[in-house]
Amino acid sequence: MALTAPAWADLVQISRAYELEPGLVNVPVSPSSSMFFSNCKGCETTSGQLNAQTRFSVNGKAVDFDEFCDAIRLAKRSKGSGIVLLRHLKSNAIVSVSVSL
């Protein structure tokens, strides 16, 4: 399938995904707090707002907020762990956060 030039011009980015090292992500304090993260050491810190619609998962399994925070703490101490975060650009809401241990 090919896109024509006019169709390409209509595309608008609404979300951005981040693949993050656990050491560059803070552990949020509540399910409605801001979550701060950075793409690399020395890079500018970015934040997004958690809310009731934010989805949390660990190793592909949906978890509650407390389990998610525990997984971030564990990921910070584990080699080979990672975090993928999806942030809605206009509202700055964090749509989902997935921790891989």
Residue 77 has a pLDDT of 96
The mean pLDDT of 72-100, rounded to a whole number, is 97
Mean of per-residue pLDDT scores for the chain: 92
- Scanning the structure block, which residue is given the tokens 């964090």? 94
pLDDT digits (tens, 9 = 90+) for 18-65: 999 999 999 999 999 999 999 999 999 999 999 999 999 999 999 999
The residues spanned by each domain of the chain are 15-100
Per DSSP, the residues of 20-76 read E-GGGBPPPSSTTSEEEEESSTTSPEEEEE--TT-EEEETTEE--HHHHHHHHHHHH
Confidence of residue 6 (pLDDT cuts 50, 70, 90): low
Tell me how many degrees the CA angle 67-27-46 measures, rounded to the nearest 5.
130
84: enclosing H helix or E strand = strand 82-88
| More reliable by pLDDT, 34 or 2 | 34
**Fold (CATH) for 15-100:** OB fold (Dihydrolipoamide Acetyltransferase, E2P) (2.40.50)
